[in-house]
Amino acid sequence: MYLGMMAGHHMGWGRIEEEGWRKGPWTAEEDGLLIEYVKLHGEGRWNSVARLAGLKRNGKSCRLRWVNYLRPELKRGQITPHEESIILELHARWGNRWSTIARSLPGRTDNEIKNYWRTHFKKKAKLPSDASDKAKNRFLRRKQFHNQQHQQQQQQHLQVNQEEVKRIMALLDENNDTKLPCFWPQVKQGMETISTYPHHTTDHQEQGFYYSMLNGNVSVPEASNNEDNFLWDGLWNLNDVHGNFSSTCATGKAS
DNA sequence: AAGGGTCCCAACCGCGCGCGC
DNA sequence: CGCGCGCGCGGTTGGGACCCT
C-alpha cells in the first residue's frame, strides 16, 4: 500500500554515485528487494544487502530505509497527543537523544520524533506570540480530524482499561510487599478520576500523564537524584504485577 | 492568481563506538 | 595497540505540499 504511494512520490531523481551506489528516493522494486532480504536473512549485516539482494544501495542506506520506513511494526499516521506529551516530557529529561525517546514510543522512529520535535517545538519556542498563535492554530486545525479519531479510539481503550485499572489497584493495595513510589496515592487518585471522568481532564500535561498511565507509558519527571530514578523504576515495572498494564512500554530494542 | 514563506519528512552525512583480527 | 568494519546516532539537507499575503 504505502510502497506504491512513496514510490511514485519522489521518482525521477534517483541517481548513481561514483562508487556505483544508488542514492535518493527508493523505488517500490528496491523496497521489495529489501523486504525480501530481511525476510530471508533478518536485520543486520547491511553491507551484504547489495550483494545478496541485488540492490545498488550501500548498507547504510538499506538500514535507514528498513528502520525508518519498511519495518512492519512501524506506526503510520500523525503523532497522537498522548505521544506528543511523552515526547515533550522525555525531551525535557534527555534532550536530543532521539533514539532513547523513540524506545518509549513503540512504532515510532527516532527520525520521526526528531522531525516532529523540530517542526513543532524547536521553532515555536522562538516565535513571537502572534506568530506562535498562528502556528498553533494551524497545527490544531490539522490535528482536529486526527484528534477526533484518536478520541474515539481512547474512548474504546478506556472502557476496556477501566476494569483493568481497578483490578490493578486492588492488586497493588493487597500486595503490601510491592514497592510503590511515594506519589502512588496521587497516581491512584488520578487513575480513579480518569476511570470516572475519562474525558474531562483539561490540563494537557495531566491528561498526557493519565493517558500514559493507562497505556503503560509512564511519563517521566526530571530526574534529580538516584532516589527518583529508583522510584520511577518501580512504577515503570508495574507490568511485573500485571502483564498487560505495560504492554506498550519499552520495545525489544530498548531491552 | 501568484509567489514567497513555511511545513513536513525521507534520505543523506559525519562522527563515534564496539568488536574482531 | 591499531586498524578496518559494521552499525547506530544526531544533525542537516532537499524538495514537494501546503499556506498566507
Reported confidence tier of residue A123, pLDDT bands at 50, 70, 90: low
Which has the closest alpha carbon to A41: A59, A22, A21? A59
Which positions in strand C are less than 7 Å from the protein's CB atoms? 5-13, 15-17, 19-21
Q: What DSSP assignment string belongs to A150-195?
A: HHHHHHHHHHHHHHHHHHHHHHHHH-TTS---TTHHHHHHHHHHHH
C-alpha cell at A15: 541517481
Q: Which of A70, A93, A110 is the last residue in one of the domains?
A: A70
Residues 64-123 of chain A with CB under 7 A from strand B are: 64-65, 68-69, 78, 111-112, 114-116, 119-120, 123
Tell me: the pLDDT tens digits for A189-246?
Answer: 333 333 322 233 333 333 333 333 333 333 333 333 332 333 233 223 323 222 232 3
Residue A251 lies in a domain: no
Do A192 and A101 lie in a common domain?
yes
Do A104 and A214 lie in a common domain?
yes
Residue A194 lies in a domain: yes
Do A88 and A170 lie in a common domain?
yes
The percent of residues above 70 in pLDDT, for chain A, comes to: 40
Instruction: Confirm whether any atom of chain C, the nucleic acid strand, is less than 7 Å from CB of A96.
Output: yes
Do A55 and A85 lie in a common domain?
no
Do A230 and A129 lie in a common domain?
yes
Q: Which of A51, A70, A89 is the last residue in one of the domains?
A: A70
Interatomic distance A119 CA / B16 C1' (Å): 27
Do A65 and A108 lie in a common domain?
no
Interatomic distance A98 CA / C8 C1' (Å): 12
Do A55 and A156 lie in a common domain?
no
**What single-letter DSSP state applies at residue A126?**
T
Tell me: the pLDDT tens digits for A146-177?
Answer: 443 344 343 333 333 334 334 433 443 433 33
Report pLDDT for A66. 92
| A28 pLDDT higher than 70 | yes
Distance between CA atoms of residues A186 and A192, nearest Å:
10
Domain CATH for A7: 1.10.10.60
| A55 pLDDT higher than 50 | yes
Do A46 and A148 lie in a common domain?
no
Residue A75 lies in a domain: no
Residue A105 lies in a domain: yes
Residue A254 lies in a domain: no
> Could you tell me the residue range of the domain that residue A60 belongs to?
2-12+19-70
Residue A85 lies in a domain: yes
CA angle A243, A248, A249 (to 5 degrees): 85
Instruction: Confirm whether any atom of chain C, the nucleic acid strand, is less than 7 Å from CB of A68.
Output: no
Which positions in strand B are less than 7 Å from the protein's CB atoms? 6-14
Top-confidence residue, A94 or A128: A94
Do A110 and A182 lie in a common domain?
yes
Instruction: Give the number of domains in chain A.
Output: 2
Residue A255 lies in a domain: no
Q: Which residue is nearest to nucleotide C14 (CA to C1')?
A: A24
Do A137 and A197 lie in a common domain?
yes
Do A207 and A104 lie in a common domain?
yes
Distance between CA atoms of residues A129 and A127, nearest Å:
6
Do A218 and A124 lie in a common domain?
yes
Interatomic distance A134 CA / B3 C1' (Å): 21
Q: Which of A34, A49, A70 is the last residue in one of the domains?
A: A70
**What single-letter DSSP state applies at residue A16?**
E
Residue A24 lies in a domain: yes
